[in-house]
Structure 1
Amino acid sequence: MTDTVNTRRLALDVLLEVTEHGAYSNQVLRAVLEKYQYMEKYERAFLTRLVEGTIQHMIELDYVIDQFSKVKVKKMKPVIRNILRMGVYQIQYMDSVPDSAACNEAVKLARKSGFSTLSGFVNGVLRNIARNSGSIRYPDEEKEPVLALSVRYSMPEWIVEEWLNAYGMEQTKAILDAFSKETPITIRTNVTKITPDALKEQLKAEGVTVQTLEELSYAGLPYTDAYHYAFAISGFDHLMALPSFQDGLFYVQDISSMMVAEAAAPEKGAHVIDVCAAPGGKSIHLAEMLDGTGSVESRDLTGYKTGLIEENISRYQIKNMTTKVWDATVPDESAEDTADVLVADLPCSGLGVLRKKTDIRYKMSRGQQEELEALQRRILDTVCSYVKKDGIMVYSTCTINPGENQENVAWFLGKHPEFELLDMEQIYPGTQVGDGFFYARLRRIS
C-alpha cells in the first residue's frame, strides 16, 4: 500500500510502547490516531488492524518465528522482534497484503530503524515463513491441551489452565473463540439531552450503522416508545468526528457495564454511593435512572480519578451527582448506614474484556490476580457498612475468574450474615454483544 504517513512505522512505535514499556495498547493507539487525524480512513483501519492483530496473536506469532529463526524471539532486539511479529501477522492474517510486500516493507523498516545489518536476517526469516506457511507445526491438542490452546488463541498458559480447571474444554474454547471476534462499540443515550429515538435518527443521519440493544431498557422514563436506550454502533471512521459524540449525546459503555446500574435499580430519591467509580460511567447511569431526584456520590482513590468523573459530570450535565476522594479500603464513619444502593465495581484482573484490551493477558499474572482477590475482599469488608438496612449492594467485576467473583461472594456471605444474596450472574464473552462480566446483588437484612 502507498502511505501518506508510514503506518508500519507508527505501528512499530505503538508495539514497542506496549511490549517493551508496559503501556496499554488502546491508550497508545488512541493517542496516535488522534495525533494523525488527517490520515485516510483506510490508513487508520490498516494501522489499527496491524497493531491490534499483532498483539492479539503475539504468542502464536512468536511460536511461528521460533520455528524458522535460529535466534529465538526472546533473545532478539526489541525492534527486530516486533518488526518480525508485524511481518508474520501480515503474511498469516492479512490477505490484502502480498507476502512480498510484507517482507519488503519489514526490511525497509529495519533499515530505517537503524538496523541495516539485520535487514538480511529479517528478510530471510519472513521469506522462509511465507514459503512454508502451509507446513507450520502446531502443538497437538490431545497431547498438550494447555500449550495447544495457548498457541492457537495466544493466551498465556496459566490462564488457559485456570479456565480449563474451572470450565472444562468446551466452555474454555467457547470463551477463547469469543475473544478472537470483533464486537461493535456500544453506547448509552444521554437521556438528559436527547431521547433514544432521536439519537438513533441523528446517528443514522451521520452515516452510522445503529442496532438497538434489546437487552437493556428504562421502564420508568417518560417516553412512550423509547425505553431501549442502548445501541451498538459501527460503520464510522472515529468517534471524535461524530457531532453527536462532540455534543455529549451518548456515553460509550459496554453492555455488561450498563447491566450493573440495571441490577442496582435505584428507586427515585435514593442515595447511591459508588466506591470505585472512575471514570464515572456507572455513576452517571445511576444518576440518570434517578431522573433528577436523589443523589449519587461517586468516589475514587485520587484527585486525578475524581477529576475524570467531574469532567464527565460536566460533559453530560448531571445535576444530582457529586465526587469524593476516598480510599475504599479505609472506613468512612460518616457514610455508615447512609446508602440505599452501594455499587462496588472493584479493581480486577480484567480478563473478561480481552476483546477491547487485548494486552491485559500479557500484563496479568496469577500472583497479581490473587492480590486483587484479597484487595476486593478488603474493600467489600469495609464498604458494606455504608448500606442501610434493606439497602442493596451490587458487587461487580469485568473478569470471568471465579476467585474474584463467586468465591468472593461466598466468602463475604460467610463473614457478613447481615446480608443475603438476591441473585448473581456470570456473563461470558460471546453470550451477548458485550464483554465477560460478573455481578452479584445483595441486600442488607439486619
Structure 2
Amino acid sequence: MKLYVNLARAVVQALEMIFENDKYADKVIEKVLKQNPKWGARDRRFIAETTYDIVRWYRFLQNITEAEEGDYWKLLGGWCVLHNIPLPDWDEFKGLNEKRIHERDMKMRAIRRFRESIPDWLDSLGETELGERRWEEELKALNEEAYVVLRANTLKISAEDLQRELADSDIETDLLEDFPEGLVLAERQNVFRHPAFKEGFFEVQDAASQFIAPFLRVEPGMRVIDACAGAGGKTLHLAALMKNKGRIIAMDVEAWKLEELQKRARRAGVSNLETRFIESSKTIKRLDNSADRLLLDVPCSGLGVLKRNPDAKWKLSPQFIDEVKTLQLHILEDYGTMLKPGGMMVYSTCSILPSENEKQVEAFITKHGDKYEFVEQKHSWPSEGFDGFYMALIKKK
C-alpha cells in the first residue's frame, strides 16, 4: 500500500481537531470526509479507520516514535511503520527511525499502560475496581474495533426479512443468537444511505445496548418513562417491544436530543411517543407515581464503549468520574419518584466500573430499602464481544 499526501493530511487534520479542539472523533471524521466528496470508498475508509486507530493507540504511538505533543505526522509515520506501509520521503517524516521504532515497540509492549495505550490514572483505577486479571482482559477487548450491529425495527420488519433485504444489496449480515432483533455486519460500511434505513427498517445499535429495553419487562399498553432518553435508541426499542401500544414519555435535559429523537421516531413509525424537556425538578414532580416502567440510562464515564469511542479515554478525568457518580445517585433518588408502587425501573450505564454500577445500586437500596427492592442485575463485558453495559432491575414497593 502507498501513502498519499492528501489522505495523510486529512488524517493529521482530523487528529488536530480531536486532540486540540476537543471535538468528538465521529463528528470530526464526518466533517473531514464532507470536505472532499470526490474521495472514493477506499480513501474514505482509510481516513476514518486510520484516524480511529491512531486515536486508540495514541500513547503507544507517541512513545515508540518519541513524538512531541501535537506532532501528529510522527504518530502517522509510526502507524505506517507498524503496518508495513513504506514511509514517503516527506519533510514531515524526517527524524523517524524505523529500526528504533521497532525496538521501542518491543520495549513498550512489556508495560501495560503503554501496551494498551491508557492514561496512568485510568489504568490504576480499572485495576483497583476490577482486579488485575479482569481489568487486563477488558482493557485488551476495549482496544479492539467495534462491530457494526443493527437492530431490526419489528414495527416494520423482522430480523430475518431485513437480512434478506440487505443481502439483495450485497450487504452481508449474521443474525445474533442472543439478540432477537440483532444483525451484525460482515464488513464495515455506511448503511445510512441504504433505502432500508430511510424506510425505518433498522437502527444502528450495539448488541449489548439491545439487552436493556427487554430487561425492563415492558408490555403493550403500559405507561413507560425513559428519563435519560438522549437521541433515543433505547426509546425506539421500547416502542417496538410495546407494539406501539400504551405510552412512552421520553425525557432529557438537552432539547436538541429530543428533537433528533422525534425525527428518528417518525422514520421508525413510532406513534406512542411523547417527548418532554426537563426544565427543572418540577418536570419530574408532575409525573410522580405515574409510570409502570422507568428507564434510567444514566450519564456515566462511558468506559464500556471505548471500542467505538476511543477518544473518550483521553478526555476523561478523575474529577469527571467523581462528578458523574454524584449525578447518578441524584437521578436514582429524584427520578425514582415517577414510578408507581409495584412498578419497576432499570438503572443502566455503559460503564464497567463497579463504583458506577452495582455499588450505586447497593447504596441506593441500603438507603431506600423501605421503598425499593433489588430484583436482578446483568453485566455485558467487552471481552464477551460487544460493548460494556450494566443494568439493574429495581421494584418499587
> Shorter-chain TM-score category?
over 0.9
Counterpart of 1:430 in structure 2 is: 383
Q: 1:306-345 alignment to 2 at 5 Å?
A: 306-327=258-279, 332-345=284-297
Matched to 2:68, the amino acid is V
Matched to 1:91, the amino acid is V
What stretches of structure 2 of length at least 5 have no aligned partner?
Answer: none
- Within the candidate set 72, 78, 83, 2:73 is matched to 83
Matched to 2:102, the amino acid is G
Which secondary structure does the structure 2 equivalent of 1:404 belong to? coil
Matched to 1:86, the amino acid is L
Larger radius of gyration: 1
Matched to 2:122, the amino acid is I
Structure 1 residues 193 and 266, CA, compared in 2 at 3 Å: closer, same or farther? same
- C-alpha contact (below 8 Å) 1:328/1:383 kept by paired residues: no
Counterpart of 1:135 in structure 2 is: 103
Counterpart of 1:198 in structure 2 is: 161
Find the aligned partners of 1:329 and 1:160 in 2 and give their Cα distance.
37
Structure 1 residues 140 and 85, CA, compared in 2 at 3 Å: closer, same or farther? closer
Structure 1 residues 318 and 199, CA, compared in 2 at 3 Å: closer, same or farther? same
1:14-42 superposed Cα distances (whole Å, 9 cap, x missing partner): 10000101001111112333454432222
Find the aligned partners of 1:321 and 1:202 in 2 and give their Cα distance.
28
Counterpart of 1:123 in structure 2 is: 94
1:169 aligns with 2:135: no
Counterpart of 1:302 in structure 2 is: 254
Find the aligned partners of 1:229 and 1:25 in 2 and give their Cα distance.
28
Which of 196-205 and 166-175 deviates more? 166-175
- C-alpha contact (below 8 Å) 1:275/1:328 kept by paired residues: no
1:154 aligns with 2:144: no
- Within the candidate set 353, 367, 383, 1:415 is matched to 367
Task: Kindly state the Cα deviation for residue 368 of structure 1 after the two structures are TM-superposed.
Answer: 0.6
Where do 4+ consecutive residues of structure 1 move more than 4 Å? 1-5, 327-331
Question: RMSD across aligned C-alpha pairs, in angstroms?
Answer: 1.9
1:225-276 superposed Cα distances (whole Å, 9 cap, x missing partner): xxx2211113253223322223221011111111110100212210000111
Task: Kindly state the Cα deviation for residue 133 of structure 1 after the two structures are TM-superposed.
Answer: 3.2
What stretches of structure 1 of length at least 5 have no aligned partner?
Answer: 67-71, 111-121, 142-147, 217-227
Counterpart of 1:73 in structure 2 is: 68
Which secondary structure does the structure 2 equivalent of 1:297 belong to? strand
- C-alpha contact (below 8 Å) 1:331/1:382 kept by paired residues: no
Q: 1:377-388 alignment to 2 at 5 Å?
A: 377-388=329-340
Q: 1:210-225 alignment to 2 at 5 Å?
A: 210-216=173-179
Structure 1 residues 140 and 230, CA, compared in 2 at 3 Å: closer, same or farther? closer
Task: Kindly state the Cα deviation for residue 406 of structure 1 after the two structures are TM-superposed.
Answer: 1.1
Find the aligned partners of 1:17 and 1:140 in 2 and give their Cα distance.
28
Structure 1 residues 85 and 330, CA, compared in 2 at 3 Å: closer, same or farther? farther
- C-alpha contact (below 8 Å) 2:130/2:353 kept by paired residues: no
Task: Kindly state the Cα deviation for residue 163 of structure 1 after the two structures are TM-superposed.
Answer: 1.5
- C-alpha contact (below 8 Å) 2:223/2:292 kept by paired residues: yes
1:322-381 superposed Cα distances (whole Å, 9 cap, x missing partner): 100015866622211110000000111101000000000000011110000001111111
- C-alpha contact (below 8 Å) 1:297/1:322 kept by paired residues: yes
Structure 1 residues 239 and 377, CA, compared in 2 at 3 Å: closer, same or farther? same
- C-alpha contact (below 8 Å) 2:129/2:355 kept by paired residues: no
Structure 1 residues 48 and 389, CA, compared in 2 at 3 Å: closer, same or farther? same
Matched to 2:107, the amino acid is Y
1:189 aligns with 2:152: yes
Structure 1 residues 23 and 304, CA, compared in 2 at 3 Å: closer, same or farther? same
Counterpart of 1:27 in structure 2 is: 27
Matched to 1:133, the amino acid is I
Matched to 2:231, the amino acid is P
Structure 1 residues 131 and 236, CA, compared in 2 at 3 Å: closer, same or farther? closer
1:163-207 superposed Cα distances (whole Å, 9 cap, x missing partner): 211222221111111112223211111122222221110111111
Matched to 2:277, the amino acid is V
Task: Kindly state the Cα deviation for residue 159 of structure 1 after the two structures are TM-superposed.
Answer: 1.4
Counterpart of 1:58 in structure 2 is: 58
Structure 1 residues 444 and 260, CA, compared in 2 at 3 Å: closer, same or farther? same
Q: 1:5-44 alignment to 2 at 5 Å?
A: 6-44=6-44
Which secondary structure does the structure 1 equivalent of 2:149 belong to? strand
Structure 1 residues 340 and 73, CA, compared in 2 at 3 Å: closer, same or farther? same
* Bigger relative contact order, structure 1 or 2 (CA pairs below 8 A, ≥6 apart): 2
- C-alpha contact (below 8 Å) 1:276/1:328 kept by paired residues: no
1:39-87 superposed Cα distances (whole Å, 9 cap, x missing partner): 2222122112220111111111111232xxxxx623xxx3xx1111111
Counterpart of 1:248 in structure 2 is: 200
Structure 1 residues 140 and 277, CA, compared in 2 at 3 Å: closer, same or farther? closer
The TM-score, its normalising length taken from structure 1, stands at: 0.84
- C-alpha contact (below 8 Å) 2:64/2:108 kept by paired residues: no
- C-alpha contact (below 8 Å) 2:159/2:175 kept by paired residues: no
Which secondary structure does the structure 1 equivalent of 2:203 belong to? strand
